[in-house]
Copies of this chain bind each other. A is one copy, B any other.
Amino acid sequence: MRSENLKIFAEAETCPARNVLDRFGDKWSTLVILVLNEEEKLRFNELHKVIGDISQKMLTVTLRNLEADGLASRKVYPEIPPRVEYKLTPLGKSLVPHISSLLKWADQNFSSIMASRSKYNQKVS
């Protein structure tokens, strides 16, 4: 049966694909990674300004997740007012080319996809 060599996919919790892709399949992670990649070092409010439409809460959550996974590092300077700098770790940097290649694909095929999408929606409605 043909399903045998595909059974791998059906596993779930021990699956690297699901565990890892789920994380940066959220709304903000890839964006934050790409922004950090362009600027090397950024403070919380700098990230907040650059991204613009992210809420403080979601920026915090996203940064904590990246930190937890070892993709970004968080350096606190014990000053007043506080200063915190975020940057990508080597692991985080190693992910960037893969995201970029995906983004390049998205860019190149964007119009084709949007055309197909609106044509499909016409047929349905």
Binding site for B on A (CB under 8 A): 2-3, 5-7, 9-10, 12, 16-17, 19-22, 25-27, 30-31, 34-35, 38-39, 46, 49-53, 67-71, 91, 94-95, 98-99, 101-103, 105-107, 109-110, 112-117, 120-121
Name the one of B10, B99, B113, B120 contacting A51, with C-beta atoms under 8 angstroms. B10
Name the one of B2, B53, B101, B109 contacting A39, with C-beta atoms under 8 angstroms. B2
**CB <8 Å contact, B69 and A117:** yes
- Tell me the smallest distance from the CB of A46 to a CB of chain B, in Å: 7
Question: When chains A and B are docked, how far (Å) is the Cα of A16 from the Cα of B51?
Answer: 16
**CB <8 Å contact, B103 and A17:** yes
Question: When chains A and B are docked, how far (Å) is the Cα of A53 from the Cα of B34?
Answer: 33
**CB <8 Å contact, B106 and A17:** yes
Q: Tell me whether A16 and B67 are in contact in the complex, defined as CB-CB below 8 angstroms, given that A53-B10, A102-B21 are known contacts.
A: no
CB neighbours of A121 from chain B (8 A): 68
**CB <8 Å contact, A6 and B35:** yes
CB neighbours of A6 from chain B (8 A): 35, 38-39, 50
Q: Tell me whether A20 and B69 are in contact in the complex, defined as CB-CB below 8 angstroms, given that A9-B31, A9-B34, A9-B51 are known contacts.
A: no
